[in-house]
Chain A
Amino acid sequence: MKMPEPDAAVMARQVEIAAALGTIVPDGVIADVDGVSPYGSDGLVMYRQSPLAVVLPRTTEQVSRVLAWCHANGVKVVARGSGTSLSGGALPLADGIVLGMARFNRILRVDYDNRCAVVQPGVTNLAVSQAIAHKGFYYAPDPSSQIACSIGGNVAENAGGVHCLKYGTTSPNLLGVELVLIDGTVLRLGGPGQEQAGYDLLGLVCGSEGLLGVVTEATVRILPKPATQRALLLGFPSVADASDCVAAIIAAGIIPAGLEMMDAPAIRAAEDFVQAGYPTDVAALMIAEADGSAAEVDDQLARITQIAKAHNCTHLRASTDEAQRLLFWAGRKAAFPAVGRIASDYYCVDGTIPRRQLGAVLGEISAIVARHGLGVANVFHAGDGNLHPLVMYDASVPGQTAAAEAAGAAILKACVDAGGVLTGEHGVGVEKRDLMEHQFSAIDLAVQSRLKCAFDAHGLLNPGKLFPTLSRCAEMNAMHVHGGRLPFPELPRF
């Protein structure tokens, strides 16, 4: 993966840059080689790059001043939450600083009457739910890294989880942000209400992968915990039966709280790892969870059971208590580390397809990994068609890392070719950046990347991520001149 050519002149100013930022954040600048090294990578461990310096601000004012200084001095900035991105969203740049938001770790207020919580971006996803559990509330998005990943990172990546089909990814659960632009401007978008005036800039910022601004506060929607949650464990003799069953459940008007699927290699790895009681003689295993009132849950599970039986389900168990429900989930939630036990390394791919293409795409995935001499285990958020093939490889064998990356890219192209998209919840980052042209036309990409000019015209925030190339904003503005008059004469020109 080629990153933008580092600016040698900026790199030569490393000591001066660290000193200047140290006057803004006196106890929060790390510039020594050993100190910055832990920030050199995120959850996409194939890539590593130490930054010029790491800055750890505590206040919005410090963030604003750091960004304004970087803006004035042409220094690039990569914001970082907990560093759990699986797409390299927080991968540093050799000529840029990392703006670590870990010290923004407070839940500022919980407004139960308006069902929202105002939290700082360094707060972990799970900590939000834990802080409001005593009042019977929780925060719905639940990425598998939820004990570690931060709300700021969730906003940047529009993070998902296993309950997205019913509750959505981060964006529908985000009501407002305080956002700092690269020039230091502090904006508030949205708030505790349910609708903002004007353009949906909040929706644009959510999932913008750190390219548009730095979030210093988030207002998230909180929900009362479901009165009842129960799960079914369903085994099928073929993936086709299981995926037909998913379609039939949805077509019957049921939106389960969770609808997960695993293929045979993933089932066996998970069962060996956590002994969740999964049947190991089935080709596909599904976990269907219903939540809500007891009456609704009983009704849904009864109807799902009936549909599953009509689709050749060979193994069927319903959770009878909370411990058993959690055990059903334990295998699925441990699927990644479980695959990590049977392969020295694995590469988690993330694409979404129209569900009806599942069988065909799975066949394609098997062929792709075989062609690269590798193995694969598949887990899916089956309800919304989000696939996570885990490509198994051995980084100590020369060529296998590159083979895994090549297989991942081929799998994502296959998802797009089947009518799907490159990423359902992990983001584009550096990982899928060069595949964007496979999904979008040149015009589609230009319209998207051009938006960066409204927020960050010099391309200082997280460049090298998301887009293969960035628009040249000065040229863009030249095109605005029409008949000798600028349409927005009050705006600064670059």
Chain B
Amino acid sequence: MACRPATTEQLAEVIRDAAAHGRSLAVSGSGSRPGIGPGPAEADLDLTGLGGSIDHDPAELLLTLPASAPLDHVERLLAQSGQCLAFEPPSPDAIWGLGHGTIGGAIASGLSGPRRPFAGACRDHVLGLSGVTGRGEILTAGGKVLKNVTGFDLPRLLTGSRGTLAVLTQITLKVLPLAPAQATLLLPADTPAKAVRIMADALMIDGGITGAAWSEGAVQLRIEASAAVLPALVDAARARLPAGQLIEGDASRALWAAIASLHGHARADEIIWRCPLPASRAPALAALLPPAARLRLDWAGALAWVLLPASAADLDVHALVAQAAGREGHAERLRGDGPIPARAPLEPGVAALSARVKALFDPAGILSPAAAPGGAA
């Protein structure tokens, strides 16, 4: 069963009705991220009918738009003014093959791309939100200004909450200039340990570095700047780092789009695990992986992608991340099935607090219950 509200008031009505009858709703935008989507529910909530206008004010660095706005459309619109979503949301298309998704999905999933260590995370760019809580209340949180500490920071709490606290309808984002020129240095590094060392050294260089990743025996180091300045920054980086190949312009852009989304990195049948952890622990995780596993690093080593063949579906990646990084890392399976749960349980105190937060927004437990931290309520 599906319902497709056309206005925020109708959405609130649908949610109130579902809450009154204890009928769970699967909250999703365009359904482009099934691996981290709502999971099973008694009815599907189709949000594509909730439109609205897009207001982009480049001089104010502000973008207000409906949650249903397609992500690729938004990125093209910003590029026309030389701006971007600085947290570089990964396109879900390469992982799940169901399109580029919506901005609402990007914010609700909370995933950040390669610029995260340099420009901040998804949650750091969400200034304001409107939506409907699990009680059917029409909510506005945050503001439409760059600097705001008024009240509890609901925009951060709702970002990455996977639609389990409130259904997002409108979002205000901080948008930033996109550097007009870029280049990537490929620096040979045959082990994760060497790669993490090179990336840590590279991050000490002050000069336009906005990406540091590792795959296939090479560190990829992105440098972005104005066209006039870029050559000097590339020279400065080369003077302090091992010799390597230079990739420029659109080839560099394509390389980073692929790193963000794993396009061309993950094979079609591979299971994909995403593991944020302290960069210094990435080599320890690498050492624990079986030969069949393939590893990609991003965020200068603070994000590990573990790619597994179906035959390794029973590999407990949660346990390996815990062994490598203790409680300072975690893992989530974005794609693929297997006997291991996609997410590990939260530490008990945090799990209890999270459940209380969920209950305050959604006392009937109807919003994507299977996606709430810790699983179904």
Contacts and interface: CB of A to CB of B under 8 A. Distances in A.
A445 to B, nearest CB: 8
B347 A207 contact: no
Contacts of A293: 206-208, 229, 232-233, 236
Interface stretch (A1-9, A168-176, A265-273, A275-283): A168-176
A482 B357 contact: no
Contacts of B211: none
Contacts of A476: 360
Contacts of B153: 158, 171, 203-204, 206-208
A483 B366 CA distance: 14
B98 interface: no
Contacts, number: 284
A353 interface: yes
Given A169-B147, A194-B302, A483 B22 contact: yes
Contacts of B177: 253-255
A101 B89 CA distance: 39
A204 B280 contact: no
A454 to B, nearest CB: 4
Interface in B119-162: 120-121, 123-124, 133, 137-141, 143-154, 156-157, 159-161
A450 B57 CA distance: 33
B29 interface: no
A160 B147 contact: yes
Contact of B226 (A247, A299, A448): A299
Nearest to B151: A448
A325 to B, nearest CB: 16
B373 A199 contact: yes
Given A200-B110, A200-B123, A479 B363 contact: yes
Contacts of A247: 59-60
B204 A224 contact: yes
B232 A295 contact: yes
Interface in A372-426: 381, 383-386, 419-426
Nearest to B328: A191
Interface residues of B, number: 98
A448 B373 contact: no
A290 to B, nearest CB: 12
A114 B377 contact: no
Given A187-B349, A454-B360, A385 B147 contact: yes
A451 B353 contact: no
B343 interface: yes
Interface in A163-220: 164-165, 168-169, 171-172, 181, 185-189, 191-201, 203-204, 206-208
A491 interface: yes
A227 interface: yes
B356 to A, nearest CB: 4
A428 B364 CA distance: 32
B278 interface: yes
A194 B116 contact: yes
Contact of A491 (B58, B226, B343, B355): B355
Contacts of A208: 152-153
A445 B279 CA distance: 39
Interface string B316-357: 000000000101111010000000000110110111111111
Given A381-B147, A423-B148, A428-B150, 6 more contacts: A191-B327, A204-B153, A227-B206, A296-B208, A299-B228, A384-B145
11 contacts: A114-B302, A171-B156, A200-B157, A206-B153, A253-B177, A292-B208, A293-B233, A354-B60, A426-B149, A443-B137, A454-B359
